Structure 1
């Protein structure tokens, strides 16, 4: 069974240029560094990763305040990603960028991602200009993704407004932003109306597995919430997926297992942003078999991903044949 990294990033040159143009010279707590397929493959080989599903994002995804720029940037990075997959069909997949907040632009790019580029899914950042995934303003986007049974990586970004905090946002605020998205999807009914979307919550789902019991208390305590949810909250927790990128400590993994089960967990690294966490002197540190055993570890490492990434599964099967 292959090991598939569903949460790993690439930074093609047009994207880096856009970041620099907008005064962003670091992202996710690290300085911008050149990305090449060769460097990424070297990392994967060192850590026993067969395939990495790339997503191109930094503090704000592809939107920096100008919709036209966002649409052009998404198209550029998606086309580059598709070329990487063509050159390395067994080693890479791509989640395509979607240029929200413009709904029409997003719908056009979703068509391009699936119909022209044959990519593996899309990624959505937690919020764009203060609008969170799950907001009714983006309803046509959820409809389009549901119609394609899309797999969607949900990734946190810089919160629009926060207090003046003495730490970088990736340490804690990213986790909370992912949690806000899950609650928005639940209480706005998106998970009920669009059951065919395979949502992946980054970084172990933020605080969702840990707070599941607290979230479940809301409909019991407040009558208004009982009208918004159709199922027990535990079922909503198990209707999405959770990658273990920067969330593979024993406490985090065991919490996910208890809350949602291993059939809802996926392997991820958050490389290249998390490169500093991969200590070559600790070669077994990110091996899930040490916590889950061989059978369940293989499920999280690759089996679950192949189930929700059918185009990647087909490429891998063709290569074996």
Structure 2
């Protein structure tokens, strides 16, 4: 069974240096330490993961309040990621960083990601400088991604406007931020205007699968919402993808299956941030076959990802042909 981890992170030294410069010395439960492909490959081999699609982010993406810095940082980490793929083309992919909020800078980096580096897609953090993905001010970026039939990992970040809470934001607020960005995409019409973008909602879609029935009630209860949506809400839920990173309990998986089906689910680990959640002494944990059965597990583990990551599929073409031949035999 081919296993592709669509939600896994790398922290190259220039990114760590930027975090430290901004007073961030700890992120997502992990002490800051330089990422190496060797350490990542050891983790992948230990857990039977064939490919990891990397994204570079911490509590935020690449924007810390200085647009020039964001432009340079995005270019730097994307070039580093491309070099990793060149050295390990069948083990790694990369979602490139996009330096929003500036639209022109974002468009230039999208071109660099696809035309110069040949990366596998982009990641967008849920909100930048107070605006959520789906905001009309970034309309040219959605249009550019739609033209490229881009695959976009949507990743939550630390919200800027919350009360003082006695727990770290990643525990609960990330889940709600993912839900907010999905609602923004729906009610601002982005999913309708740009149907060729393959959106991936992190961490099981936050609360989206669970809240699907409640979201569907909005157009029935409030007439104004009827003009904002062109399809039944369940159709919007099934128009995006959901990774199972830190969302692969039986309850969460069953909720996703019921809400969207296994054709819309993808494997993810959230490594390195979730490193301590991968423990071989916990028998059966992260076992897709045990959670879903063999056929569905194969779809979620890798087949669905290949469908929306064509450049990765091309790099794996020889291996996929061998697998097909083996299946026929």
TM-score, normalised with respect to structure 1: 0.99
2:234 equivalent to 1:234: yes
Q: Residue 165 of structure 1: SS of its match in structure 2?
A: coil
1:29–1:168 contact (8 Å) kept in structure 2: no
- 2:88 matched residue in structure 1: 88
Tell me how far apart the structure 2 counterparts of residues 256 and 143 of structure 1 sit (CA, whole Å): 28
TM superposition shift of 1:160: 1.0
- 2:326 matched residue in structure 1: none
Tell me how far apart the structure 2 counterparts of residues 245 and 33 of structure 1 sit (CA, whole Å): 21
Q: Residue 316 of structure 2: SS of its match in structure 1?
A: helix
Note the alpha carbon deviations across 1:124-181, whole angstroms, 9 max, x for none.
Answer: 0000011000000000000000000000000000001110000000000000000000
- 1:76 matched residue in structure 2: 76
- 1:109 matched residue in structure 2: 109
- 1:119 matched residue in structure 2: 119
- 1:25 matched residue in structure 2: 25
Tell me how far apart the structure 2 counterparts of residues 72 and 58 of structure 1 sit (CA, whole Å): 17
Once the two structures are overlaid, the 10-residue window that deviates more, 36-45 or 23-32, is 23-32
TM superposition shift of 1:320: 6.1
Question: Where do 1:209-248 residues align within 5 Å?
Answer: 209-248=209-248
- 2:137 matched residue in structure 1: 137
Tell me how far apart the structure 2 counterparts of residues 310 and 281 of structure 1 sit (CA, whole Å): 36
Structure 1 runs (4+) greater than 6 angstroms displaced: none
- 2:148 matched residue in structure 1: 148
1:4–1:52 contact (8 Å) kept in structure 2: yes
Question: Where do 1:1-321 residues align within 5 Å?
Answer: 1-282=1-282, 284-318=284-318
Q: Residue 60 of structure 2: SS of its match in structure 1?
A: coil
Q: Residue 257 of structure 2: SS of its match in structure 1?
A: helix
Note the alpha carbon deviations across 1:301-321, whole angstroms, 9 max, x for none.
Answer: 000000000000000014667
2:30–2:272 contact (8 Å) kept in structure 1: no
TM-score, normalised with respect to structure 2: 0.96
TM superposition shift of 1:284: 2.8
Tell me how far apart the structure 2 counterparts of residues 283 and 317 of structure 1 sit (CA, whole Å): 33
TM superposition shift of 1:280: 2.2
Q: Residue 68 of structure 1: SS of its match in structure 2?
A: helix
